[in-house]
Chains A and B, each alone.
Chain A
Amino acid sequence: MTVVEGTTTYDVARIRGDFPILGRRLSGDLPLVYLDSANTSQKPRQVIDAIDDHYRHHNANVARAMHQLGAEASEAFELGRDKVAAFIGAPSRDEVVYTKNASEALNLVARVLGDAGRVGAGDEVVITEMEHHSNIVPWQQLTQRTGATLRWFGVTDEGRLDLDDINTLITERTKVVSLTWVSNMLGTINPLDVVIAKAHAVGALVVVDASQAVPQIPVDVAALGADFVAFTGHKLVGPTGIGVLWGRYDLLAELPPFLGGGEMIETVTMQGSTYAAPPSRFEAGTPPIAESVGIGAAVDYLSSIGMAEIAAHEQTITAYALGAMQEIDGLTVIGPKEAVDRGGAISFTLDGVHPHDVSQLLDSRGVAVRAGHHCAKPLHLRFGVQSTTRASFYLYTTEQEIDALVEALHHTKKYFGA
């Protein structure tokens, strides 16, 4: 779980050559400075070509077409699952359930744990103040549905998970602990080992939102020891429309289905249905076929560079950005101010300029960032801000792009007389 120390070990310029969109010129013939990768990553031609090739040469529905194309499409679809399983160190490919995104993966877990009676009246579910709405709302819905209680870890002023009351929060009443690995707003990397050990000691299940983690740091779900891990394809240079729920096989095997439909059944009669084994049990309907090909190409691409190397670059570029940005008068970083146990997302405020106006002015200089509440309203409230501007980095981000951001921020200040 420790991020590799050190400097960038690969040729970023060569990597950038793989991403056609990074060569785009924006209006005014400005080069694109894409600093919104925590929102969605850009795609290398290896991924684009794999999807293109699938649609051009192998397209058919999976598992139900007996013809040659059907066999090719089924094989390509399942090969994507094999690649994802290997990428995250899953003990079995059958532990990789495809969803449409990370939100659906988290909703799936919350729904079926309730349906299975694993969370009921008097029980407690523990989440944290730094969750994305995707890891808040499904648990609010579950606890409201079942009469359970939702409890929250707080966040320290520095933007770290506040573990002081872990012993009063996680108790024998706790059935589920669900938390993010890397905060999408603060960038904080959470000490999952401490939380998982405590949760398992009281018999609670642990769900990890790894949406910002799997793209940035080496992940081995077997070593991690959590019970469920959710993430999404489009943040790891893969396509939109495909998410992943990894779950321990013994758990998946005893949980009821999520959505009903084709592919998730064993047999259907007018009296009732029986259900397929995992992962099919949780994959009703035609699955994201070309997207599985795409996510497979994406993890191949990341592996060819090396996740430890990508994590080292992320840390290098984040340290550089934190240093450069905090030299700007009136700029306040919300979250850890040093690149220690920290991912590549930096949220900040600029005195006297609303985040929307910051992002609009940056856009006028070709710098793409995100402004708003980043689907983390409770966390913004915790820091007393309504919204922030967020710059986020990835394997293709350069120091020159950070310099362009800093220059554009100075311009923004001048423009608004702040």
Chain B
Amino acid sequence: MNVDSLYQEIILDHYKHPHGAGLREPFEAEVHHVNPTCGDEITLRVHLDGETVSDVSYAAQGCSISQASVSVLNDLIIGKSVDEGMAVLDTFTELMQGKGKVEPDEDVLEDGIAFAGVAQFPARVKCALLGWMAWKDAVSQALVTNNASTPSASTTGDPA
């Protein structure tokens, strides 16, 4: 396995110049996720405007893969609907868990296709997914918060 397939230029660029880093307001949910095996950490906030993810802000400490991954997430998710964002998450997760056998879809993942090489390094897959799992958790909590504060949501009795 060539380490250059792991450390693509795009990844190193995102690592050195992360997009959308820092914690911002407003937000409906904030989560803190840790990779217990290595200690990498992320605090991530989600701000929803109706069904639209209008901001994902974060403070993270970790390796180049985990940092670049959340930077790419920031690019990909902001401005999308929650459902669209979840679909991107699924595509990215499928790529990461594909052991290098899944062809990345550039239309969906854009810079995220640079992570295709990570899938060949099982120890690093968790690094790439740290920010994405945090986002999934945060957006789920934000939806609950928004539903609870929206009268129409409570009257429909939708358990989701």
Q: Which residues of A contact B (CB under 8 A)?
A: 27, 354-357, 360-361, 363-364, 371-373, 377, 380, 386-387, 415-416
Contacts and interface: CB of A to CB of B under 8 A. Distances in A.
Contacts of B41: 386
Which of A354, A363, A364 counts the most chain B CB atoms within 10 A? A354
Contacts of B39: 372-373, 377, 380, 386-387
B3 A354 contact: no
Contact of A356 (B1, B2, B3, B65): B65
Contacts of B160: none
A295 to B, nearest CB: 27
B24 interface: no
Interface residues of B, number: 19
Contacts, number: 45
B149 interface: no
Contact of A387 (B1, B3, B38, B64): B38
Given A373-B39, A380-B39, A415-B7, A357 B1 contact: no
13 contacts: A27-B1, A354-B64, A355-B63, A356-B64, A356-B65, A357-B64, A360-B3, A360-B121, A373-B39, A386-B39, A386-B62, A387-B40, A416-B64
B107 to A, nearest CB: 29
Interface string B32-59: 0000011111000000000000000000
A355 B2 CA distance: 19
A371 B6 contact: no
A308 to B, nearest CB: 36
Nearest to B39: A373
A318 to B, nearest CB: 25
Contacts of A377: 39
B127 interface: yes
A356 B7 contact: no
Given A354-B63, A356-B62, A363-B3, 9 more contacts: A355-B63, A356-B64, A360-B6, A364-B2, A364-B3, A373-B38, A380-B39, A386-B61, A416-B64
B86 interface: no
Contacts of A372: 37-39
A190 B63 CA distance: 32
Contacts of B38: 356, 371-373, 387
Contacts of A415: 7
A411 to B, nearest CB: 10
Which of A27, A355, A357, A377 counts the most chain B CB atoms within 10 A? A357
Contacts of B65: 356-357
Contacts of A364: 2-3
A275 B1 CA distance: 55
8 residue pairs, one from A and one from B, having the closest CB atoms: A356-B63, A364-B3, A354-B63, A373-B39, A372-B38, A357-B64, A387-B39, A357-B63
B3 A361 contact: yes
A415 B15 CA distance: 13
